[in-house]
Chains A and B, each alone.
Chain A
Amino acid sequence: MVAPQVKFEIRDLNVWFGPAQAIKRLDMEIAANEILSVIGPSNSGKTTFLRTLNRLIELNVNCRVSGAVELEGKDVFRIDAELLRKKIGMVFALPLPLPLSIFDNVAYGVRMHGLKNKDKIKAIAEEALKEAYLWEEVKDRLAESAFKLSGGQQQRLCIARTLAVGPEVILFDEPCSGLDPISTAKVEDAMLKLKEKYTIVLVTNNVKQAARVGDRTAFFLSGELIEVDKTDRIFTAPRDKRTDGYIRGKFG
């Protein structure tokens, strides 16, 4: 087996919001085509970590960043932010369909980036919906409002919308926190399939979800990375007692 290609390299990353430090001296690598699960109690910096990768934290006025985040060897803070966010898609905790039809939701990003050819848009949208495991359920009702879909379908629609833009990495920010177990399973299936083509970083509050889908799992606590390792190892023989405690539900 060849050594996996490194997608992200993070060195000595620190993030502050005003006086509070949200991420402390983080060093980590993320390999291409892996699913990295990030777990940890609330306020542990895991969402901040995710939002640093696509620079969404820059929407916060009082945030400060030091250290390096490299995407395939290129400093993300020097790449044009819009271009970066095209390469790094993001799916949020709450499904966020726009008040448009199902089709227009998926085509939204593509159109925004300037594609006009209708056949191409159609092809891209269909492909994205298939990849998000939604095509079969919606192919006959593409013109309906996206609000008519169930919560789980809406979330997969958001995944499709992200995929349509053509990213290389997809960040999931607690994507199943509002979904029932069956919808959750469908989103997880989609993720497992997606890792063949994409690199996935999954922030989750659901420890079991991390165990189910993550190739590797990282445990954050109070802004520090406590440990990161192969998922089975983290869940069977963690090196740090705090990781063990969190996984067994002793705190957090």
Chain B
Amino acid sequence: MRKLKEFIVEKLILICGIASIFFVVLIFLFLLKEGLALFKFVKPLEFLFGKSWYPISEPPQLGILPLILGSLLVTLGAAVISIPIGVGCAIYIAEIAPARSKEVLKAGIELLAAIPSVVLGFIGMVTLVPLIKNLFHLPTGLTALSGSVMLAFMAMPTIVSIAEDALYSVPKSYKEGAFALGATHWQTIRRVLLPAASSGILAAVMLGIGRVIGETMAVMMITGNAAVIPQSILAPVRTLTATIAAEMGEAVVGSEHYFALFAIGIVLFIISFAINVTADLCLHKKR
């Protein structure tokens, strides 16, 4: 009787495990099937490097270079803002903050992660967008910069909490060793703690960026969604994610446009996958 129970439970867990993998594979296959169908109409290179995205003109022009550049620009901007602040914050929490403010800060950072992205987008729309418009005297504040700033907020919790973990798990003896040699606190942080935690910090940064590049709602609300090759960070851009979200509802099922949106999905999938794998490699790399 007990053996039977054991057997059933084991098999149930096995089914759960297989199911999750099965669904991921299924999703991936569906994405591939629908996306690759596009290449019956458009050459892959034309699709990736075509400079214009006019999906409903006749014939449709399906070049996603503006969208890729839009995504990259917004992501790069977010990275430039969030990495120094995030890593700095992690150092402060792990090393400098007194015990009490450490707890408050950590809780605050986790709260930041809990804000739904549509709310962040909404807040950005009513506060950040007018601010950027007035600050730079632009015709519109819906720019790549606005998206970058908002996305930096979304990447920060990931970067801070993982980087802080990495710093915290550096053996205490390293720190004592450096102090015993007469190092100042900052010298210890810079020359011992940061190098020792570097793989974890790198992973934190990659995961933060991974989150940014897949983010849809906030960017769609505040980047202006102009599918042209961006001339500067103060110009409106459209990202890969926003394109799918905005157009999927209108695309005729089975049309080139429809397939193209799936192909964008594949591109996004490959980018995210690459970033996550890199982060994983960093995290598991032994020193």
Q: Given A61-B99, A96-B174, A99-B287, does the pair A89, B180 have CB atoms closer than 8 Å?
A: yes
Task: From A82, A86, A158, A161, name the one whose CB has the most chain B CB atoms within 10 angstroms.
Answer: A82
Taking residues whose C-beta sits less than 8 angstroms from the other chain, chain B's interface range is 10 to 19
Find out whether the CB atom of A54 lies under 8 angstroms from the CB atom of B99: no
Find out whether the CB atom of B179 lies under 8 angstroms from the CB atom of A89: no
| Chief secondary structure at chain B's binding surface | helix
Within 8 A of B (CB), among A112-126: 112-113
Contacts of A94 in B (CB 8 A): 173
Residue of A nearest to B195 (CB): A99
Query: Which of B35-43, B157-165, B182-190, B243-251 makes up part of the contact surface?
Result: B182-190
Q: Given A61-B99, A98-B192, A99-B287, does the pair A113, B176 have CB atoms closer than 8 Å?
A: no
Residue of A nearest to B192 (CB): A98
A56 to B188, CA, bound (A): 14
Contacts of B181 in A (CB 8 A): 85-86, 89, 108-109, 112, 161-162, 165
- The distance from the CB of B47 to the nearest CB of chain A, in whole angstroms, is 45
| Chief secondary structure at chain A's binding surface | helix
A89 to B176, CA, bound (A): 12
Find out whether the CB atom of A112 lies under 8 angstroms from the CB atom of B179: no
Tally of contact residues, A, Cβ under 8 A:
24
A198 to B99, CA, bound (A): 39
Contacts of B184 in A (CB 8 A): 82
Find out whether the CB atom of B182 lies under 8 angstroms from the CB atom of A109: yes
A59 to B173, CA, bound (A): 11
Contacts of A112 in B (CB 8 A): 181-183, 187, 191
Residue positions of A touching B, CB distance < 8 A:
54, 56, 59, 61, 82-86, 89-90, 92, 94, 96, 98-99, 108-109, 112-113, 158, 161-162, 165
A-B CB contact pairs (8 Å), 5 listed: A59-B175, A59-B176, A113-B182, A161-B181, A165-B182
Other CB < 8 Å A-B pairs besides A61-B99, A112-B181, 15 of them? A56-B176, A83-B182, A86-B181, A92-B180, A96-B177, A98-B174, A108-B191, A109-B181, A109-B183, A112-B182, A112-B183, A113-B182, A162-B180, A165-B181, A165-B182
